[in-house]
Chains A and B, each alone.
Chain A
Amino acid sequence: MGIPGTWRLRNQRLALIGEVCHTCGKKIFPPRDVCPDCAREAQHAFRFSGRGEIYSFTTVFNPPAGFEEYAPYTVALVKLEEGPIVTAQLTDVEPDQVAIGQPVEMVTRKLQDESRAGVISYGYKFRPRMSAT
């Protein structure tokens, strides 16, 4: 993804900011402007807690271009405690220590660092929950 695209997504990537629908109360991530439940406009920013649990996961051994140096890595569907599911990598965990239902929390890590001369792409990943609260 190019620099403008990464920049536009900085609030989502760095702070897990999605939306809340003021009509039906649904919490939305990724933000999509129109509520998927009630089809009203839902452009009210909402910062997610970053806490959730593993809905499903897999380990990628044959990565797409741009992710080679990190392989193998585990990607999960994480069900956030506010409701939505997000697709994200897990970090700081061995693949054989991951289980469906496991509590996880959001951390910010490097997603991509192509060529080490360009702009670094930082974003959310999840790890087994260790925070105090």
Chain B
Amino acid sequence: MKPLRSVGIVGYGAYIPRYRLPAGEIARVWGEKGEPPVREKAVPGLDEDTLTIALEATRNALARAGIDPQEIGAVWVGSESHPYAVKPTGTIIAEAIGATPYTLAADLQFACKAGTEAIQAGIGLVASGMVKYALAVGADTAQGRPGDALEYTAAAGGAAYLLGSAEESLAVFEESLSYVTDTPDFWRRPYMHYPSHAQRFTGEPGYFHHVLSAAQALMERTGHKAEHFRHLVLHQPNAKFPERAARRLGFRPEQWKTGLLALEIGNTYAGAALLGLAAVLDEAQPDERILVVSFGSGAGSDAFILRTTEQLPARQRLATTTRAYIARRVVIDYALYARYRRKLLTE
């Protein structure tokens, strides 16, 4: 997909909570052996949730964009862990940053690709001229069932993107593509606390099929080969899946290592691909091409080709970097984790 008017990122921001639960703690409690899917995962504090994560990421995006929040015409937050089942996260964000009242605001849900879905919608709205800027956020405080394989990776974090005209942007969307099918690899029914998943079915029919199909189709349509990209960012439920997918797409490790954070922070769900992109933008030089492919269970992928502009370097240090959040870490044990994630029965 290519809009009639070119759209880009005018500001981006990341947020990762400071607590880390090492995989070894989970293995110790459940008596499991073998190689864990990540080294550790980011855990939110007692006073954090998807809203607070999304808001700090948004403030960082605003700091880099330097725009008037009153000119933001859409505030969209993608998450599978919105604080309310009914009542938008988006209005709280809009109020906090001073974007109210003349703005769209809504929450999106598409498992881990809710945030990139918001970007696709935002590109359309900005390109059409209906709004000057659109805010798209992907954030989650994902919960894994105690003892389930997902517990190793279900993490918290988020990233926010302010979209505007290409002329003002630090990176421009060259082309995008969305790819969805009805594939029930992972779901959560109403009133259920923890999601369910289809074990190994989440792999090939889920993650790999959608990520590879979307990436290959977009590269084919644009005539790009792997070597045309300086960076690759894939949805990262663990470290193994994106590495394997990247190899199958013909990429080399130096293209994906900057944007692959899962080993250090786990799977931040709707935040995952977007945090990877934020880490890349923190380091990238002008005129570099980036391929981003998200994945959301249920299932689908959004793929974007971005090209950084001359405006990027001056804005990289206007807010806390993704790496600074990763470096800010306080290791906790499983007991504290159980308290912070409210897994203890206190009543």
Contacts and interface: CB of A to CB of B under 8 A. Distances in A.
B52 A14 contact: no
26 contacts: A11-B95, A14-B92, A14-B95, A14-B96, A47-B98, A89-B47, A91-B45, A92-B18, A107-B52, A108-B56, A108-B96, A109-B47, A109-B52, A110-B49, A120-B83, A120-B84, A122-B52, A122-B92, A122-B96, A130-B324, A130-B328, A131-B63, A131-B320, A132-B319, A132-B321, A133-B319
Contact of B47 (A14, A110, A131): A110
B55 interface: yes
A92 B17 CA distance: 9
B314 interface: no
A47 B98 CA distance: 10
A47 B59 CA distance: 14
B105 to A, nearest CB: 14
Interface of A: 10-11, 14-15, 47, 69-70, 89, 91-92, 107-111, 120, 122, 125, 130-133
B77 to A, nearest CB: 14
Contact of A70 (B18, B47, B55, B324): B47
A112 B298 CA distance: 34
Contacts, number: 60
B97 interface: yes
Contacts of B324: 130
A68 to B, nearest CB: 9
B46 interface: yes
B95 A110 contact: no
A15 B62 CA distance: 14
A91 B324 CA distance: 17
Contact of A132 (B52, B83, B318): B318
Interface in B289-346: 317-321, 324, 328, 346
B98 A15 contact: yes
Given A122-B51, A132-B320, A133-B319, A15 B46 contact: no
B283 interface: no
A130 B324 CA distance: 9
B48 interface: yes
Given A107-B52, A109-B48, A133-B319, A15 B97 contact: yes
Given A120-B51, A125-B47, A132-B318, 19 more contacts: A15-B95, A15-B98, A70-B46, A107-B56, A108-B52, A108-B55, A108-B56, A108-B96, A109-B47, A110-B47, A111-B47, A120-B49, A120-B83, A122-B92, A130-B320, A130-B328, A131-B319, A132-B63, A133-B319
Interface string B26-44: 0000000000000000000
B212 to A, nearest CB: 37
Contacts of A110: 46-49, 52
A44 to B, nearest CB: 15
A92 to B, nearest CB: 6
Q: Which of B95, B318, B319, B346 has the most CB of A within 10 A?
A: B95
Contact of A133 (B49, B63, B95, B321): B63
Contacts of B83: 120
Given A14-B92, A47-B98, A109-B52, A69 B320 contact: no
Contacts of A125: 47
Given A130-B328, A132-B318, A133-B318, A92 B95 contact: no
Given A130-B328, A132-B318, A133-B63, A69 B46 contact: yes
B7 to A, nearest CB: 26
A14 B98 CA distance: 10
B347 to A, nearest CB: 10
A107 B49 CA distance: 13
A106 to B, nearest CB: 10
Question: 5 closest A-B pairs (Cβ-Cβ)?
Answer: A14-B96, A109-B47, A110-B47, A108-B55, A132-B317
